[in-house]
Each structure stands twice: as C-alpha cells, then as structure tokens.
Amino acid sequence: MHYSRSTGSKRPAGRGFPPRRGGGFGGGSRGRFGQGERIDPSRFVNKAVITEEVEHFVPEHKFADFLIADGLKKAIIAKGYTTPTPIQDRAIPHILTRQDLVGIANTGTGKTAAFLIPLLNKVVLNREERVLILVPTRELALQIDEELHAFARGSGINSVCCVGGMSIGHQMSELRYRYNFIIGTPGRIKDLTNRRAIQLNKFKTLVLDEADRMLDMGFVHDMRLVMSSMPTERHTLFFSATLSSDIERLIKEFLKEPVRISVKTRDTASNVEQDVIRVPHGSDKLDHLHDLLRQEDFKKVLIFARTKFSVEKLSNILSDRGFKSASIHGNKNQAQRQRALNLFRASHIQVLVATDVAARGLDIADVSHVINYDIPATYDDYVHRIGRTGRGNKRGKALTFIS
C-alpha cells in the first residue's frame, strides 16, 4: 500500500464525470467519461500546506451590531458566536430587510445560522409569521431543527420537522399545535399538503437550502409544486453550492430581484489534504482499508461507498474485524440512522460508512478522515463528501481508492 506521489495540487474543479458502470462490492474504482477518457487521479490530490496563505476575511459586523432582539443576541453569545462568517456577515443584513436572496457558499460556511438568525428575529417581531425551510435530506432537516432550537431556547418559538422515514401520523399531530417553522424534505411536505395538514398559503417566508442537491435528487417537480402553492408575495431565500442553468431558471421563476451573495472561493477546502490510495492489481482493497484504520491518527473516519448493499456489507465486515463501525443509507429507518450519527458524533464508534445521502449538509465535528472507498458519481459529489472533514479552521484528510 502506498500513497500517490502525484503533485497535482490545487487543481480547479473539472466537469463532473458520469456514474461508473458495473462492478460490485470491493471492485475496482475506475471511472470513465462518456468518450472513454480515464479519470485523472490528480483531481483527488491536494497537499495541504500548513503555512499556505489564505484570504483574510474582515467582517463588516459583529453579532452585537445586528438589529435583532436582545434575547436572540443572548442565545447567539451562549452558542459561542462572536464574529460572523462571510456568508453570515453579508447575508443577515439583507434578510433582516426582507430582501430575496441567493447565497452561493461552500459547505461548512455557517449558512444555516445566516438564515436562521434573521428569520427567528422576524418571528419574534410577529408571532403569526410562518417559515418553511426545504432541504434535500432528513439528516439536514434534523440538524437545522436542532440549531433552531438552540437559538430559540426560552423564546416560545416552535418548529415541526417533516421528513420521510419517520411517522407521518406523529408529524400530523404536531402540526395541530402552534408552530412558526416547518423544516422538511420536498416529498414529505407535498404529502402533508395533500393530506391538508399543511396550508402552504399561510407561509410567507421560504428557504430553499442546498437547492442544487434537491435538483440532483429529482425534487424539482415537488419544489415547484410547493412554491406555486405559496403566496406570490413572499420572502424567498435560496442557497446553493453551485449555479447551473437549471438553478438559474428556478431563481428567475420564483425570486424577485434577489440580492446575490457569493463567498465561495474554491471547490475544495484548502485545509483538506487530499490524496489517493493506489490498489495494485490482484491485491485486496479491503486489506488496504484495514491497515489504514489501524493507524493512530484515523480516529474518526467517514467512509463512502457506492450502494446501500456495499455500505452495509463493508460496515459489517469492519465490525467483524474489530473496528467500532456503523452505517447509514436509504434502507435504514430514521431512528437507526440517527442512532448511528449520534454514536459517531459522540466518538463512541471509529467508523461511519455511508452512501451519498450523508454527503451534504451534515455537520459532524472532528472528522479526522474521509475515505472514498468507491469513487463518487460526480466531481461535485466528491467535493461535498470531503467537505465533511476540515470544517471551520480545522484540518482534515481525504483519501480516494483507485485501481
């Protein structure tokens, strides 16, 4: 086993490549462009240099400067926030003045607080206000809900989390009580609307978080249905890591003269060291992974595999080999997925094996390594996978297996 010695550092993001065809669990990780061109492994290499210079951001505001309620300021201080991140610094003033907004930001930039803080203030000023936050995955919905409760503690502001994989009856019951926020996935919101448990015409504020991911997952019809059922005079916030022609069409269709804010400086974090693990022909990829996980610095490792079956099988094999491991994928119910995430967050297990359902939006502290056991379907998926490590000012490592 050896690390690649490729020197392809800080390459710009190339075009995404199509899903790899064929191959089962533990197979080779070769991918090809439609023209038969082989993937350049240097895309997965970026040697982090401790002394490298990064853009120095000087915020225009402190959280104390924002025109928000005193109770909300206390909650922000209690969470340890003092200086806004770039997306928070630039977005919060516009959201406070109720302007439509398009925010383009890398993962892990603090965009959740960028929209929650001013929207909570809006609800403090008017307790009749209702806010709908649409997200691509149930994990992200639960994470936003948790952050909302931390900011809103003691305020009497309530939310309902409406996602698949959890009891729809329980969610319908919660929707009968007073609430100001709904955080949910498009399919479940559509289902609850059809059952008349949600009246979308009462929501005058909409957040579309990770809109590019929702499009990738095929939610565009559900998104359009939700937006067309809301009042035309509404406050719409749109967050995405990328801007495609499809995204631009949605922006033009549903936002009114939005302010555009982009704090995305590069596709892969500068503090994530990226490298490849070359698996020689005839050797066992699983044995290479085993040897890596035995190393002392592989403390909290997120491993991505391509299919639900391969994720479950890999997690079981690692457990059999003595590694504390769990898995998350689409065949697990929400309680099982949440339990695995909680064990990983609390460092009760060393390894979490996942499909790309976990690649976006999850904020898990101190992930030491991301390992792409199978090459992702697209370069964009790769970017979001490795964004689970090196979050904030911390450094992380991402390794990709190739044959």
- 117 vs 155: CA distance, rounded Å: 13
Residue 182 vs residues 28, 162, 281: alpha-carbon distances, Å: 43, 7, 51
Tokens of 396: 């992380």
Say whether pLDDT at 187 is over 60: yes
Residue type, 156: G
pLDDT at 102: 95
Helix (H) or strand (E) holding 227: helix 220-228
CATH code given to domain 2-52+267-402: 3.40.50.300
- CATH topology classification for 63-262: Rossmann fold (3.40.50)
**101-123 pLDDT tens trace:** 999 886 677 899 999 999 999 99
Average pLDDT over residues 138-150: 93
> Which of 174-188, 342-356, 369-383 shows the lowest per-residue confidence on average (mean pLDDT)?
369-383
CA distance 121 to 116: 8
Instruction: Give the H or E element holding residue 150.
Output: helix 138-152
Distance separating alpha carbons of residues 350 and 337, to the nearest angstrom: 16
Distance of alpha carbon 185 from alpha carbon 94, whole angstroms: 26
- First and final CA of the chain: distance in angstroms? 12
Q: pTM for this one? A: 0.68
Report the side by side order of strands in the sheet with 181-184: 159-162, 181-184, 131-134, 205-208, 235-240, 101-104, 259-262
- Report residue 357's pLDDT band, with 50, 70 and 90 as the boundaries: confident
- Name the helix (H) or strand (E) containing 70: helix 70-78
Q: What is the pLDDT of residue 20?
A: 34
Q: Tens digits of per-residue pLDDT, 160-185?
A: 999 988 899 999 999 999 999 999 99
Residue in this structure with the two tokens 């951001």, named with its chain if needed: 57
Closest CA relative to residue 191, chosen from 153, 222, 159, 145: 222
**Torsion angles phi and psi, residue 51, rounded to 5:** -90, 5
The mean pLDDT value of the chain amounts to 83
The stretch 195-214 carries a mean pLDDT of 95
Average pLDDT over residues 264-278: 73
Which segment, 8-17, 35-44, 393-402, is predicted with the most confidence on average?
Answer: 393-402
Residue 87 pLDDT: 92
Find the range with the poorest average confidence among 70-74, 104-108, 183-187, 250-254: 104-108
More confident residue, 267 or 381: 381
222-241 tens-digit pLDDT: 999 999 999 999 999 999 98
Angle at which helices 70-78 and 111-125 cross, to 10°: 150
CA distance 253 to 32: 35
Rounded to whole angstroms, the Cα distance separating 329 from 311 reads: 7
Task: Considering the chain, tell me which residue range(s) the CATH 3.40.50.300 domain(s) occupy.
Answer: 2-52+267-402, 63-262
How confident is the model at residue 282, as a pLDDT?
A: 80
Residue count of the chain, please give it.
403
CA–CA separation, 151 and 134 (whole Å): 19
Contact 45, 6 (CB under 8 A): yes
pLDDT number for residue 394: 79
What HEC string does 329-368 produce?
CCCCCHHHHHHHHHHHHCCCCCEEEECHHHCCCCCCCCCC
Query: Directed axis angle between helix 285-293 and helix 308-320, to 10°?
Result: 60
Assign 207 a pLDDT band (cuts: 50, 70, 90). Answer: very high
| 304-327 pLDDT tens trace | 999 999 999 999 999 999 999 999
Q: What is the pLDDT of residue 361?
A: 63
